[in-house]
Copies of this chain bind each other. A is one copy, B any other.
Amino acid sequence: MTIALPLKLQEPLIIVNFKAYRKSTGTQAVELARKAEKVHKETHVVLGVAPQFADIAVVAQAVDIPVFAQHIDPIEPGSFTGHVLAESVKEAGAAGTLINHSERQLKLSDIDLAVKLARENGLSSCVCANNPRISMAVATLEPDIIAVEPPELIGTGIPVSKAKPKVVTDTIRLVRQVNSRVPILCGAGISGRKDISAALRLGTQGVLVASGIVEAKNPYAIMREFAHALKDQ
């Protein structure tokens, strides 16, 4: 079953990007998603999980929280070997998809096409951007969510909300010039409760987080901490 995503500015959101970590592959992807679901049930905070393509089906069967693909290709059904079709991840149970993550960047025209294909297939699109100016460019393409992540901070544990607050506030200012409603997440280096609070105070609607949770000793505890930080805001 596909669990849809409530996309309202007032409701904060955490998306956990499973990337290709060993700790979030296969059966461990299911276990991690179950922990995210537990935190959601306890706190009512919206948590989405983005497992690898081959894990979408088993994760979506196992949990009642929104599942994201990590990427879709800008293609219609047809003769495309080794590509990721929007229809395919949707049928496997995805509710949304990341697009243009800094580790899987696309040509501009392909971002435009991928956002349209996500929309046509009932997938929420979360388009990633490296800086405020690129976030503004992305906003003109009318995705469902924008996530700004300075790539130099990804995986460092140095939170963007603390190290580069101006990146976050500039992103919000520029995006709002062209799009008044799109939820804006920030990511990169998010690893503690304070980072979440800071991100919300700067004006975001939530966070996109990966190693801070996947590689943590106790992912459940961290997610619960993050969810409470979101609620308490």
Mark the stretch among A5-13, A31-39, A76-84, A198-206 that contacts chain B: A76-84
Q: Are A81 and B107 in contact, with the CB atoms below 8 A?
A: no
Q: Are B88 and A55 in contact, with the CB atoms below 8 A?
A: yes
Q: State in angstroms the CA–CA spacing of A194 and B142 once bound together.
A: 35
Tell me the smallest distance from the CB of A157 to a CB of chain B, in Å.
13
> Within 8 Å CB of A88, what residues of B?
20, 25-26, 52-55
Number of A interface residues in the complex (CB < 8 A): 66
B52, B77, B134, B174: the one within 8 Å of A85 (CB):
B52
Q: Are A154 and B79 in contact, with the CB atoms below 8 A?
A: yes
> Within 8 Å CB of A106, what residues of B?
107-108
> Within 8 Å CB of A108, what residues of B?
100, 105-108, 111, 129, 134, 137-138
Q: State in angstroms the CA–CA spacing of A130 and B89 once bound together.
A: 27
Task: Given A53-B84, A58-B57, answer yes or no on A19-B78 (Cβ-Cβ < 8 Å).
Answer: yes
Q: Are B131 and A112 in contact, with the CB atoms below 8 A?
A: yes
Tell me the smallest distance from the CB of A93 to a CB of chain B, in Å.
9
Q: Are B136 and A140 in contact, with the CB atoms below 8 A?
A: yes
B19, B52, B80, B105: the one within 8 Å of A107 (CB):
B105
Q: State in angstroms the CA–CA spacing of A53 and B17 once bound together.
A: 18
Q: Please tell me if A180 contacts chain B, counting CB pairs below 8 Å.
A: no
Q: Are A75 and B20 in contact, with the CB atoms below 8 A?
A: yes
Task: Given A82-B101, A107-B105, answer yes or no on A25-B55 (Cβ-Cβ < 8 Å).
Answer: no
Q: What residue of chain B has the Cβ atom nearest to residue A110's Cβ?
A: B105
Q: Please tell me if A217 contacts chain B, counting CB pairs below 8 Å.
A: no
Q: Please tell me if A166 contacts chain B, counting CB pairs below 8 Å.
A: no
> Within 8 Å CB of A80, what residues of B?
19-20, 103-104
